[in-house]
Structure 1
Amino acid sequence: MTRFRYPTPLLLTAFLALFVAIFAFGPDGYWYVALIPALAILFLLRVGTDVNSAGLRVKSLFGKVVVLWPEVAALTSDQRGRGVAALTNGGKVSLLAVRSRDLPRLMSASGMTPAEQQPS
């Protein structure tokens, strides 16, 4: 299984922001300011896309979507360079933490060749 997650420096920055918020605002009673970096840490730890030979699992903060390979018509990217799976039923699934430059790695993790993933 190949996992796509947001870069580790973002997580380290969120931890640093959490500690700064706790020490800067905690003693004065503004502890709730620390909730913002805490939510960012939860987001960065949870959100991402997992790929294996069976399909895709896209995990968001409060849920997940599982898409099997037969349901995927194409793997593309949007205007901002984020990965998108176009489905055979006409829907689209945003591939969280997948950029357009990651699509070749995603295809190789699926166990299929690019020709097998193009719509017929």
Structure 2
Amino acid sequence: MSRADTVRFRHNQAILAAAIVAFIGALPLATARWWLLWVLLVPLAVGVWAWRAGTDVDDRELRLRAVVGQRRVPWTRVAELGADPRGRAVARLDDGQVLALPAVRATDLPRLIAATGQDLPGEHAEAGPPDDGQ
């Protein structure tokens, strides 16, 4: 997947900034006793998630990225794109499985479809028969 033709959807970077602030805020507590060092893992995990998780889209595939792994789904397997009741984008696969697309909202679906090189339904539709003035 080339970087030039890939559209990346990521979570808001304010989450990463909040994780950094939380990490700095947890330092006094974590350094007070050696057994409290685990407290630093929580903001660290949130920061890694905010930096890494998301969806990458190009004309060949969807790539769903998580903290420790990723899943590649070729477009030939995607039967339908839509939204769930909470406004998150989902992809229904040809076997009926539904995948939530990380960091993609329902309002991002036109941009996601445009990244595939496909036209949106009705985008280039004819205007209809000419009006004869009657």
TM-score greater than 0.5 by the shorter chain: yes
The RMSD of aligned alpha carbons is 1.5
Which structure's residues are more often helix, by fraction? 1
Distance 2:31 2:38 in 1: 8
Q: What displacement does 1:24 show?
A: 3.7
Residue 20 (structure 1) aligned to one of 8, 13, 25:
25
* C-alpha distance in 2 between matches for 1:100 and 1:107: 12
CA drift of 1:83 comes to 0.9
Q: CA deviation at 1:11?
A: 0.7
**Residue 58 (str. 1) matches residue 70 (str. 2):** no
Matches within 5 A, 1:1-120: 1-29=6-34, 30-115=36-121
Q: Structure 1: where are the runs of 5+ without partners?
A: 116-120
Cα shift readout 1:51-93 (whole Å, capped 9, x = no counterpart)? 0011100011222111111111111111111110111121111
Partners of 2:104 and 2:21 in 1: how far apart? 25
TM-score, length-normalised on structure 2?
A: 0.80
- Unaligned 5+ segments in structure 2 are 1-5, 122-134
CA distance in 1, matches of 2:9, 2:28: 33
Percent identity, aligned pairs only? 37
Question: What stretches of structure 1 move > 2 A for 4+ residues in a row?
Answer: none
Could you tell me the TM-score, scaled by structure 1's length? Answer: 0.89
Partner in structure 1 of residue 3 of structure 2: none
Whole-Å separation in 2 of the counterparts to 1:35 and 1:26 = 13
3-state DSSP class of the match of 2:50?
Answer: helix
- Rounded Cα–Cα distance in structure 1 between residues aligned with 2:86 and 2:18: 23
**Alignment-mate amino acid for residue 31 of structure 2:** G
